[in-house]
Amino acid sequence: MKRNSRLSATLHILVHMAEKPGQALTSEQLATFIHTNPVVVRRTIAGLRDAGIVTSSRGHGGGWLLGRTPENISLAEISAALGEPLLPFSTEPESPGCLVEQAVIAVLDDFRIAAEKLLADKLSRITLADLTADFRRRYDLIGVSTHAV
């Protein structure tokens, strides 16, 4: 798994889970989808479990299941559960007391708050079901073209 691809890797995993409803997939299986190892998977999606997006069970026959239907899982929730910031820039003070820095931080923070809200709104309108629908469309297309050619 490359850097900065936790969101796409997680979505990849979730679509696979959505395609096998009711069937628990192990960290091992999920890991092969995103070319990494089981511990990285557990670590990455641990937050999704806490958010109720997935459930995990141990022992024989255990593994991971979606906690809700794909229609009820939005990318906003997934992104939030991963715990990564939506915007990459930091505004932590480095020169406390510098009025220029304070002004810069104030303006950037205002922007950031508004921007994060905008992005979260947009993400909340995309669900896991949308992703699986897109996948199915591609899948069917391949099938058609394979038969046609």
State yes or no: residue 72 binds its own copies (CB under 8 A). Answer: no
Choose one: 12-20, 58-66, 110-118, 141-149; the region binding DNA (CB under 7 A): 58-66
38 binds, among DNA, its own copies, none (CB under 5 to 8 A by kind): DNA
DSSP state of 57: E
Shortest spacing between CB 136 and DNA, in angstroms? 25
Which CB sits closer to DNA, 45 or 123? 45
Which CB sits closer to DNA, 27 or 127? 27
Q: How many CA atoms lie within 13 A of 144 on its CB side?
A: 6
State yes or no: residue 16 binds its own copies (CB under 8 A). Answer: yes
Residue given tokens 């998977």 in the structure block: 41
In order, the DSSP letters of 86-127 are SS------SSTT-HHHHHHHHHHHHHHHHHHHHHHHHHHT-B
